[in-house]
Chains A and B, each alone.
Chain A
């Protein structure tokens, strides 16, 4: 037994305050609005959304993929303790495992409710084309939930303690495969130029670590603040340093991604589109993805004074979340809007199906309602689980061992 485990006392949320109930009601309303949006889109048809025959995946997919990536990345806190032996994170393992499940459920809810036929979910569970990366992902998502559930159970159940490092290792490997699967949804698409590169898989893993860490910090800090508990400064400093490292890692893979396109002359168009003349996609790339998603948080996190303040670390985390969403928007929506190159030597003069031009896409409020409902569902489940189970440590006050 390690020294940190000895003095960790877990306590449920009190759940008596007005603020707690207001939070539940607000989240429940957001979920209900998402269900209304899904029902309306299903009833009227998807034409009421901003998605069309050119940009087939829209805002709901941005939210869904963000949550699915964050779910995988958020488990990193537990993995660092179980797999890499950093005992200081052990008290936070339960929250990490819980968030891995709740964020995934929220993401999958959005993905399923956006289907043209969400009523046919059972078909997706019973008819498998094993060459489809989507089909692999269905297995990987369900398996991840099961593995993390067992990991959590072993973590929380004294009798199962001896086995939980094994469960932790399986969960760690599973999450790497899971995110490889998510990245490969795009990485194995030959048709569209901005996709179809194997670097998508490690890039998505880096993004998942970044999103997951930002979400973890935000939920950790807000739940400790909300329940008036002591949050150890050194632990937060370690987490924010990890967040900064993951931002840099994600930037590295993004650079590799663009260098690949920049190297091959026939693919210069992709680099130009995203970095120079892609209209609002270029603007979003520089201001949103790079500015909000990387530059601002890195500045805050590495600033000698700002980087010490919880409130500024929260600002940096929010910035990563918004910048991350924008990153997915640029990649997923921009990647679809970029015209398919069917006739490399020809200029397309006219086409009724928008060939050869950057496709239009303007997300509708229905899409935002559905996407936000996924986030709300994740948070609602998290808050309720914190109320019912011993997830959050009373406080983390022990000496922090040196790294």
Chain B
């Protein structure tokens, strides 16, 4: 090892400035790191939706779109929808019911498999997200999703929320309100459904045996949409 020479003051000042700029630049990243540090693989966030309790209201849709700044351009075919209500009638029995559809946060998400850049990814705790920085807008994930859960941003985005960044030309879908979940709050759709008094949506950690979600899943029958694909979605339904 050669002996290091003392750094001259001007150079030291310069390095200080560089460090300050770097610090400012990296700070948001460091902050994100602290949030994601809370994510761990022992958890599996999920939803149980009881279509018997789900009525004809749009409370979950309105709450989600308000929370995440999803605006409407009155163009139903290109407007983004993170969550939607679907009304169904059983072909044999004639029973009519309604349920909310959104990203099903699969354990084996086809959107993640097909994404060429890795922008579609699944967090350790099971939440499936899109990294808006590396999404190139190829829409292959939209071709692959069996739930038609994803939307492509077809317009210029103006008043987006800081906690739910969006971008024209990228793909997006329900984040399970990851920004709320990471701070111990409920997804906005679940909160809104509870506020109506229906309580058709239950959120929790499927892996925590003490959670209400895990207990109900253990004792009550539930199923998933397109169970034949064996994607093991994190969103489970009752009454379908």
User: A116–B168 contact, CB under 8 A?
Assistant: yes
User: A116–B89 contact, CB under 8 A?
Assistant: no
User: B136–A120 contact, CB under 8 A?
Assistant: yes
0/1 per residue, B174-199, Cβ < 8 Å to A?
00000000000000000000000000
Among B43-61, those with CB < 8 Å from A are: 61
A-B pairs with beta carbons under 8 A, tally = 177
User: B86–A134 contact, CB under 8 A?
Assistant: no
Give the CA-CA distance A354 to B151 in the complex, in Å: 13
User: B155–A45 contact, CB under 8 A?
Assistant: yes
Give the CA-CA distance A360 to B75 in the complex, in Å: 13
Q: With A343-B225, A351-B84, A351-B85 in contact, do A191 and B110 touch (Cβ < 8 Å)?
A: yes
Give the CA-CA distance A352 to B87 in the complex, in Å: 10
Q: With A134-B116, A348-B88 in contact, do A53 and B152 touch (Cβ < 8 Å)?
A: yes
Among B119-156, those with CB < 8 Å from A are: 119, 134-140, 142-148, 150-156
- Tell yes or no: A189 within 8 A of B by CB: yes
0/1 per residue, A349-380, Cβ < 8 Å to B?
11111110001100000000000000000000
Give the CA-CA distance A371 to B140 in the complex, in Å: 19
User: A116–B138 contact, CB under 8 A?
Assistant: yes
Q: With A52-B154, A127-B134, A132-B116 in contact, do A345 and B92 touch (Cβ < 8 Å)?
A: yes
User: A347–B116 contact, CB under 8 A?
Assistant: no
User: B118–A45 contact, CB under 8 A?
Assistant: no
0/1 per residue, A218-238, Cβ < 8 Å to B?
000000000000000000000
**What A residues does B39 contact at CB under 8 A?**
none
Give the CA-CA distance A116 to B78 in the complex, in Å: 13
Q: Closest chain A residue to B111 by CB distance?
A: A191
User: A346–B88 contact, CB under 8 A?
Assistant: yes
Q: Which of A116, A192, A354, A355 contacts B77 (CB 8 A)?
A: A354
Give the CA-CA distance A197 to B39 in the complex, in Å: 37
User: B139–A133 contact, CB under 8 A?
Assistant: no
Among A77-136, those with CB < 8 Å from B are: 115-118, 120-121, 123-124, 127-129, 131-135
Chain A interfacial residues counted at CB < 8 A: 49
Distance in angstroms from B86 CB to nearest chain A CB is: 5
Among A124-153, those with CB < 8 Å from B are: 124, 127-129, 131-135, 138
Give the CA-CA distance A132 to B117 in the complex, in Å: 8
- Tell yes or no: B81 within 8 A of A by CB: yes
**What A residues does B92 contact at CB under 8 A?**
345
- Tell yes or no: A57 within 8 A of B by CB: yes
Q: Closest chain A residue to B116 by CB distance?
A: A134
User: A345–B169 contact, CB under 8 A?
Assistant: no
User: A127–B117 contact, CB under 8 A?
Assistant: yes
Q: Closest chain B residue to A347 by CB distance?
A: B89
0/1 per residue, B96-125, Cβ < 8 Å to A?
100001000000001011111111000000
Q: Which of A127, A189, A353, A360 contacts B118 (CB 8 A)?
A: A127
Q: Which of A56, A118, A127, A347 contacts B139 (CB 8 A)?
A: A56
- Tell yes or no: B11 within 8 A of A by CB: no
Give the CA-CA distance A118 to B139 in the complex, in Å: 13
Distance in angstroms from B215 CB to nearest chain A CB is: 27
Q: Closest chain B residue to A332 by CB distance?
A: B143
Q: Which of B75, B115, B118 contacts A47 (CB 8 A)?
A: B75
0/1 per residue, B60-84, Cβ < 8 Å to A?
0100000000000101111111001
Most chain A beta carbons < 10 A, residue from B90, B101, B144, B240: B144
User: B148–A353 contact, CB under 8 A?
Assistant: yes
**What B residues does A348 contact at CB under 8 A?**
86-88
**What A residues does B135 contact at CB under 8 A?**
116-117, 120
**What A residues does B134 contact at CB under 8 A?**
120, 123, 127
Q: With A129-B115, A190-B229 in contact, do A45 and B88 touch (Cβ < 8 Å)?
A: no
- Tell yes or no: B16 within 8 A of A by CB: no
User: B118–A347 contact, CB under 8 A?
Assistant: no
Q: With A128-B116, A129-B117, A133-B114 in contact, do A115 and B138 touch (Cβ < 8 Å)?
A: yes
| 18 pairs of residues in contact across A and B, judged by CB atoms under 8 Å | A45-B155, A57-B139, A116-B153, A116-B169, A120-B134, A120-B136, A120-B137, A124-B116, A124-B117, A127-B117, A127-B119, A129-B118, A134-B114, A185-B140, A345-B92, A348-B86, A353-B148, A354-B77
**Contacts from B to A (Cβ < 8 Å):** 61, 73, 75-81, 84-92, 96, 101, 110, 112-119, 134-140, 142-148, 150-156, 167-171, 225-226, 229, 240
Extra inter-chain contacts (9) besides given A46-B78, A54-B148, A340-B147, CB under 8 Å: A42-B169, A53-B77, A117-B170, A120-B135, A124-B116, A192-B143, A351-B87, A352-B76, A353-B148
**Contacts from A to B (Cβ < 8 Å):** 42, 44-47, 52-54, 56-57, 115-118, 120-121, 123-124, 127-129, 131-135, 138, 185, 189-192, 336, 340, 342-343, 345-355, 359-360
For the complex of A and B, 4 pairs with smallest distance between CB atoms: A116-B137, A116-B169, A134-B116, A191-B146
